[in-house]
Structure 1
Amino acid sequence: MKQFLYRSYWLRRLLASDPGRKRLNQAGKATISLISSVFTTTLILNLLGLEPLLPSIISGIAGLMGIMVVMDDTKEKKQLTTLLLALAAGCGVTLGSLLAWNAILVSALMIVIIFSGFYFSRYGSRYFSLGMIGFFTVYFSSFLKLSPAQFPLFYLAISIGIIYAFLYNFVIFKDSVQLLKRSMRSFHRQANLTFQLLIEIIQDPETSESRRRKLEYNVRKLREYANNVSTDLSAQDIKGIWPGLTAKQLKLYVFDTAMFVMTLADSLQKLKKDDALEMAELRKLLVQVISTLQAAEVLDQDYKEKNLVEAEDVIRSLQSFINDLFNKHPSRPEGWIYLLRRIEAIASHVTEGALRIQYSLQTIDFPHAEAEDEAEEDEEDEKEKEEEKGLKPTTKKAIQSLIAGTIAIIVGYLISPIQPYWVLLTTFIVQLGTETVGRTYLKGLERSVGTLIGAIIGFILATLVSGNPTLEVILLFSVIFLAFYLLTVSYTIMSLFITMLIAFMYDLILGGISMELLGARVIDTIAGGAIALGVSAFIYPTKTMDKVSEAFKDYLNELDSYVQRYIQSLKQPTGVKDMADIAFELDGKIQTIEDESRPVLQGPGVRKYSGLPRWITIFTAINYYAKHLVASSYQKNFHYPKEVSSVFLTVEEKFTHNIQVLTKMIETDEWTGTLHDLQEEREKIERFAPGHQDNQGDLVHHLYYIWKINQSLLLLGNHMGIDKRK
């Protein structure tokens, strides 16, 4: 990992705050594409002696949307979609202008576009992207009421915007490859940042509350970064950056590094509490392990081999130190000694993974790499095919959009006959990505609040800079950048900046801005959000708690297969480290649980579902224990007496039974049986399994987190009112 070059905590925090600089990259490209499109179109039309304002706006929209709405899963598909956007935008300008004489026809066209965008997105995101740019170009051209003689100018403007979007996305800024490289760099920065905090905690006799909170925050961020890297990985990009390396190797390295940090953070307080860190030698060894891993530049072609060699030597010393501790307590070792064993095991995984990566980078020719990655992609395709079965959410969303769009058009004409489509625009935007009633409510609320605040700030700023077009244009481009840079951080803030953008545009186009005009937009926004919420609540509604329950069930089912596979690895020699991919999937499902629960926890139903935060805490703990099954495993082949073999089968049966009881209870809210604890099985394992000193595989160590997971399941069952039995 990269040598610590920055002494300021906040500088390091800033550098790591945007993993892979994804937000900066996307917002920057969108803004530059918009600026380039606007200025190029303006320049060309000025040279031709034509009025540039309106075509430049359309060109800017094309340049912006060419970056923001293209969401295909491969580079080739993205390139084709980007080029097709020009056709969709051209059709939008043509139809919107030709039908502008009849409001009913324009309204019908907009609703058809929205319906088609949602419905045909079942065949790929391309159709939704085309629908979005088609909707916006119809929206603008309908009130511009262009004549056919003006069409060529606007086709030219659209082409300029799309060309710039294509250039910035695929030629000048090569997204995925550089993004992956930056994601790994951000991950290393965040890991090093957290390593430094861990060293400080080890060296300090007492840990302050502020430092403990800072550590928790940074560990949580590292987990997010690890998931980001796992998501960004693609076989093609890895071959381009690090020839010879496989996606599986890199995922495993990221997983082990993140788990090493999480384990250390979780264990240090326990070690301090048990006075284990009073031993100077232990403190020294732990600091050396962290420091050597911190200094290793694993993915650098010119890395210093001595760092990983030193790490191996230090880990061997730590292993010897731990063995001595076990020998001093042969019958009942203290619990904190097992903590040290876990730390040592995961540190070994990180070092071994780093060495394998360096071997692959230096060897270059890695014949099985391509086969591994292709197999992984085939598995993903198979999963996608399985997921396609059943009712299509896109159909439901399309029907909702049809009804909501019709209502929005009627309401728009009633409350704002001059610009009736603003309500429809808001309804459409609020429906995007909101599968449940709760998410629709939260997004509508955030958009309304952001629009209200943005209208006030935008009116004040636009009034202050009115008459200074240069400054207004600079502010306009600035708020566009900030809106898209903060899009994934806060939808409220994003809406605030978009409303400020509208205020500046009104002032530039109309020559002035009034509070009444912005107030009308606020009312339209609230009305559009309310319509989207009402339709989602009554037309094919998906209740938020139903979605949360589904997320809980998905996690438990995945957990069951994960644990069963782990137990199988104890009975026969299989590579448990291949399960790191599943561990990342479990992490993703926990994130889904948190995302789906957010509308409940932040909405009016928080008191009704007051037990939900406790459930999320239990599932988060289960996820931590589940990842440890892979992270702290260090033995592949086990030898044990037949008394132990029979216990494995019982553990598998009881664990699966517990999962089934819990999932049935979550699904039907009906009591379907009791839960098993595994205390009897644990006692048998501890009685008959070979000890750590027998060099036959420490089953007590490897099964510890199975017991912890099951205890958490029992705790969950207790909250649900389910009894337990032996």
Structure 2
Amino acid sequence: MKQFIYRSYWLRRLLASDPGRKRLNQAGKATISLISSVFTTTLILNLLGFEPLLPSIISGIAGLMGIMVVMDDTKEKKQVTTLLLALSAGCGVTLGSLLAWNAILVSALMIAIIFSAFYFSRYGSRYFSLGMIGFFTVYFSSFLKLSPAQFPLFYLAIAIGIIYAFLYNFVIFKDSVQLLKRSMRSFHRQANLTFQLLIEIIKDPETSESRVRKLEYNVRKLREYANNVSTDLSAQDIKGIWPGLTAKQLKLYVFDTAMFVMTLADSLQKLKKDDALEMAELRKLLVQVISTLQAAEVLDQDYKEKNLAEAEYVIRSLQDFINDLFNKQPSQPEGWLYLLRRIEAIAAHVTEGALLIQYSLQAIDIPDADLEDEAEEDEEDEKEDKGLKPTTKKAIQSLIAGTIAIIVGYLISPIQPYWVLLTTFIVQLGTETVGRTYLKGLERSVGTLIGAVIGFILASLVSGHSTLEVILLFAVIFLAFYLLTVSYTIMSLFITMLIAFMYDLILGGISIELLGARVIDTIAGGAIALGVSAFIYPTKTMDKVSEAFTDYLNELESYVNQYIQSLKRPTGVKDLAGLAFELDGKIQTIEDESKPVLQGPGARKYSGLPRWITIFTAINYYAKHLVASSYQKNFYYPKEVSSVFLSVEEKFTHNIQVLTKMIETDEWAGTMYDLQEEREKIERFAPDYQENQGDLVHHLYYIWKINQSLLMMGEHMGVDKRK
């Protein structure tokens, strides 16, 4: 079976997708919770002799939202929030029903809930979760116009839904431990998949464009998986799965493996271009290194020790081969030799990390200071916002948008006036900038339009076949939440299909006019959310993009300075792997915040933005190499070099500050340094790598590359440079 999986690219691609099966896990739990809630409520109410349809719908909503809307940062907080959802839902049913006689009161209640959800979220996500379920239960109960005599049935239905959500979230499916284990398995599958592509490219004399594109895609996926694993890591989870390991060990191993793949992928084309891969011995050694790492089952208790031992042997052979090449060109080694040196260094890191993990799993004591488990605490000082807090701004926006939405809703559809408000509320969720609001409103409108057409056709075809309709209803719910993070448009499509099936079940039929009204309501709601975000305390998209750029630069300054300082310490630089993952996350933030600009109507106006993103991505690649390509501890350097470190730190910090100020103010902020003088001193006075005293030229190479990229940005902004 393993051989079959190993040979099939698409099967390996499928198994590696959805790292940790997070989407499957979340969507599956939500759907199972909904199904369990609906059928249990239906069964109990049938036994008691009551009509079960409407309470079952509310029960399903409670079971679904008990999974999807709980977003607290600890398990204990999540448990409390889940139980409190029952109270909020009960209040929503009660108030929505009691006020159903007066549309103005119901409207005021809904707007008050939305305002409170946004405003009080400053104190924690719990308040937002409670507001969401409160809003939806008010919406449904005001539509159903329940009598007080029906309240106990709906309270029971809500209790059943929340109990199932609690059971599935915290008792039956214990996410944290198994999720991390599955994330690591997905990471290894993706790494091995990419290793195989690298082997094929090395062996192939002529590399096809399709294979290169496939490799680039898989390298990007591996980067995503590495970031996923880094996010999921926590000391408690590790101890539960792999006793003896620390979070730092695993994080470093994942980082080095991902960087080894990225470095190889970037280097192979250069090596081929320089005819370096014409050497059969080099091709053989590179393939052997990759193959041995591919075969190593690092986190398996029954791993084959010979694989890592063989990897060590092959890497030493590669190191000797590279040293021979350097010795043949002592005066001016060719550039591709340094690429080989970096490949060998990172391969050695991966093997060393894998061996240390295996020693730890087998409870073998290794006297290495790097194995000390240090608590990693995020000590980010929150900056006090001048003026209104973002949550207050969003609350005020929701208040104004909600009022407009209610008025527009009554003008469009007096019978169903709240759908515009519902859409406005949903579009405002998670959309801090005008651009994001525009993009989300557009995606929701397009998804709703397509979903209405497909939903009407399917609902018409299966109308009268209740069992089939219920099965399809549950299927589209699962698909909607499974694809939520993949495509908001597709998610909206499935949600609209869900509404079509529900209308057919509840009303006994579906009409194109009814679904058409929902499409119009959705477009109106998205337009209202966009209009309010653009004129009431607007946050411009480019302001947010600029903030993401400066945030990255500030983190980069700290990271590079810590790297330089680490060259003076005996422990080396490997403690910085966690910070490298944080930089990766900030690059992702830049890409996310830039998406509305690049895909929106103002793309031409900001035509230089893609170039900036490319430069920042390159800087991030160089920054990660500072750690990944480092292979030396206990550096020795003469006094002439010691003073250079301080100068590099000062000038690098100055360059970052100049760029940051110019991005923030769009005003000239001074000149920048090219660090050429410092580089020449390092290359003149640093010990040679053959002296076993630390190859400083190698270890500082990417600092020069980072600074060159910063100068490129500065030149684009009109900044002069000096030595």
Q: CA deviation at 1:249?
A: 1.0
Q: Deviation string for 1:40-68 (max 9, x for gaps)?
A: 11111111221110001001001100110
Alpha carbons of structure 1 residues 203 and 175: separation in structure 2 relative to 1, 3 Å: same
**For each residue in 1:191-249, what CA deviation from the matched residue of structure 2 results, as whole angstroms up to 9, or x when unmatched?**
00000000001111111100000000000100000001111112211111111211111
Residue matched to 2:421? 424
Change (3 A) 1:702 1:14: same
* Structure 1 residue 723, shift from structure 2 partner: 2.0
Matched-pair contact (CA < 8 Å) for 1:544–1:599:
yes
Give the drift of 1:372.
6.8
1:265-317 residue CA offsets vs partner (Å, 9 max, x unmatched): 01111111111111111111111111111111111112111111111111111
Query: Contact 2:13–2:190 (CA<8 Å) still a contact in 1?
Result: yes
Cα distance change of structure 1 residues 4 and 392 upon mapping to structure 2, 3 Å threshold: farther
Q: Work out whether residues 227 and 584 of structure 2, in 8 Å CA contact, stay in contact via their aligned partners in 1.
A: yes
Q: CA deviation at 1:500?
A: 0.5
- Corresponding residue of 1:621: 618
Shift of 1:369: 12
CA spacing shift, 1:210–1:421, aligned 2, 3 Å: same
Q: Distance in 2 between matches of 1:336 and 1:413?
A: 70
Equivalent-residue separation in structure 2 for 1:505 and 1:370 (angstroms): 58
Q: Is the 8 A contact 1:447 1:495 kept in 2?
A: yes
Q: Is the 8 A contact 1:675 1:723 kept in 2?
A: yes
User: What is the aligned partner in structure 2 of residue 301 from structure 1?
Assistant: 301
**CA distance in 2: counterparts of 1:554 and 1:573, whole angstroms:** 30
Structure 2 contact 5–12 (Cα < 8 Å) conserved: no
- Cα deviation, 1:120-154, whole Å, max 9, x if unaligned, reads 11111111111100100000000111111101110
Which residue in the other structure is 1:171 paired with? 171
In 2: Cα distance, 1:4 partner to 1:709 partner: 44
Inter-partner Cα distance in structure 2 for 1:364 and 1:463: 67
Distance 1:658 1:616 in 2: 18
Q: Displacement of 1:721 after TM fit?
A: 2.1
Contact 1:246/1:369, CA 8 A, preserved across alignment: no
Measured in 1, the distance between the counterparts of 2:334 and 2:367 equals 46
Per the TM alignment, residue 725 of structure 1 is displaced from its structure 2 partner at its CA by 2.1
Q: Does the Cα contact within 8 Å between 1:553 and 1:663 map onto a contact in 2?
A: yes
Q: How far 1:424 moved relative to its partner?
A: 0.6
Query: Larger deviation: 665-674 or 358-367?
Result: 358-367
CA distance in 2, matches of 1:370, 1:342: 22
In the aligned structure 2, how far is the partner of 1:102 from the partner of 1:370?
68
Q: Matches of 1:251 and 1:390 in 2, distance apart?
A: 39
Distance 1:92 1:514 in 2: 29
Counterpart CA distance in 2 for 1:65 and 1:373 is 38
CA offsets, 1:585-609, max 9 Å, x none? 0000000000000000000110000
Deviation, 1:362, is: 1.6
Q: Is the 8 A contact 1:119 1:397 kept in 2?
A: yes
Change (3 A) 1:609 1:58: same
The CA deviation string for residues 499-527 of structure 1, in whole angstroms up to 9 with x for no partner, is 01001110111111111111110111111
Deviations 1:392-431 (A, max 9, x none): 2111111111111111111111111101110110010000
Q: Pick from 482, 489, 492 the counterpart of residue 492 of structure 1.
A: 489
Q: CA deviation at 1:364?
A: 8.4
Which structure 1 residue ranges, 5 or more long, are not aligned? none
Q: Which whole-Å CA distance do the structure 2 matches of 1:505 and 1:339 have between them?
A: 60
Query: Residues of 2 paired with 1:336 and 1:3: CA distance?
Result: 35
**In 2: Cα distance, 1:631 partner to 1:124 partner:** 37
Residue 544 of structure 2 aligns to a residue whose secondary structure is: helix
Taking structure 1 as reference, are residues 13 and 252 closer, same or farther at Cα in structure 2, changes over 3 Å only? Answer: same
RMSD between superposed Cα atoms in Å: 2.0
In structure 1, distance between residues paired with 2:158 and 2:502: 19
In structure 1, what is the Cα distance between the partners aligned to 2:204 and 2:437?
A: 48
Offset of residue 3 of structure 1: 8.5
Distance in 2 (alpha carbons) for counterparts of 1:168 and 1:388 = 39
Aligned partners of 1:139 and 1:421 also within 8 Å: yes
SS at 1:3 equivalent: helix
Equivalent-residue separation in structure 1 for 2:68 and 2:62 (angstroms): 10
State the 1:570 CA deviation. Answer: 2.0
The question of whether the paired residues in 2 share the 8 Å contact of 1:2 and 1:192 is answered with no
Residue aligned with 1:425, SS? helix
Structure 1 partner of 2:19: 19
Q: Deviations over 1:638-660 (max 9, x none)?
A: 22222222222222222111111
User: How far, CA to CA, are the matches of 1:378 and 1:665 in structure 2?
Assistant: 28
In the alignment, the residues of structure 2 paired with residue 82 and residue 277 of structure 1 have an alpha-carbon distance, to the nearest angstrom, of 59
Q: 1:368 to 1:462 in 2, by over 3 A?
A: farther
Tell me how far 1:371 sits from its aligned partner. Answer: 12
The answer to whether the Cα contact below 8 Å between 2:449 and 2:493 also exists between their aligned partners in 1 is yes
CA separation of 1:183/1:606 partners in 2, compared to 1, >3 Å: closer, same or farther? same
Cα–Cα, structure 1 residues 5 and 431, in superposed 2: closer, same or farther, change >3 Å? same
TM-score (normalizing by structure 2): 0.97
CA 1:371 to 1:119, structure 2 compared with 1: closer, same or farther past 3 Å? Answer: farther
Return the alpha-carbon distance in structure 1 between the equivalents of residues 170 and 369 of structure 2. 26
Q: Is the 8 A contact 1:450 1:495 kept in 2?
A: yes
Count of aligned positions: 723
Alignment CA distance shift 1:91-1:186 (3 Å): same
Q: 1:376 and 1:596 mapped to 2: Cα distance?
A: 28
Flag the 1:78–1:115 CA change in 2: closer, same or farther, 3 A.
Answer: same
TM-score, normalised to structure 1, is 0.97
| 1:377, distance to aligned residue in structure 2 (A) | 3.5
Q: Contact 2:359–2:365 at 8 Å: present in 1 too?
A: no
Contact 2:369 2:571 in 1 (8 A): no
Q: How much does 1:333 deviate?
A: 1.1
Matched-pair contact (CA < 8 Å) for 1:299–1:358: yes
- Counterpart Cα distance in 1 of 2:114 and 2:368: 46
* Secondary structure of residue in 2 paired with 1:71: coil
Unaligned stretches of 5+ residues in structure 2: none
Contact 1:244 1:369 in 2 (8 A): no
Moved more, 627-636 or 232-241: 232-241
Secondary structure of residue in 2 paired with 1:378: coil
Please tell me whether the aligned partners of residues 572 and 634 of structure 2 are also in contact (alpha carbons under 8 angstroms).
no
1:85-484 aligned within 5 A: 85-363=85-363, 375-377=375-377, 379=379, 392-484=389-481
Q: Distance in 2 between matches of 1:320 and 1:635?
A: 17
Following superposition, the deviation at residue 387 of structure 1 comes to 7.5
**C-alpha distance in 2, partners of 1:37/1:364?**
49
Q: Is the 8 A contact 2:180 2:233 kept in 1?
A: yes
- Specify the alignment match of 2:544 in structure 1: 547
The SS at the match of 1:413 is helix
Report deviation, 1:574. Answer: 3.8
Deviations 1:66-103 (A, max 9, x none): 11001111111111111111111111101111111111
When residues 433 and 108 of structure 1 are mapped into structure 2, their CA distance, relative to the original with a 3 A threshold, is same
Distance across 1 between alignment mates of 2:75 and 2:193: 33
Change (3 A) 1:40 1:700: same
2:517 to 514, 520, 526: 520
Q: Which moved more, 1:475-484 or 1:568-577?
A: 568-577
Paired residues of 2:572 and 2:632 also in contact (CA < 8 A): no
Mapped to 1, the partners of 2:365 and 2:272 lie a distance apart of 47
User: Taking structure 1 as reference, are residues 489 and 141 closer, same or farther at Cα in structure 2, changes over 3 Å only?
Assistant: same
Shift in Å, 1:365: 9.1
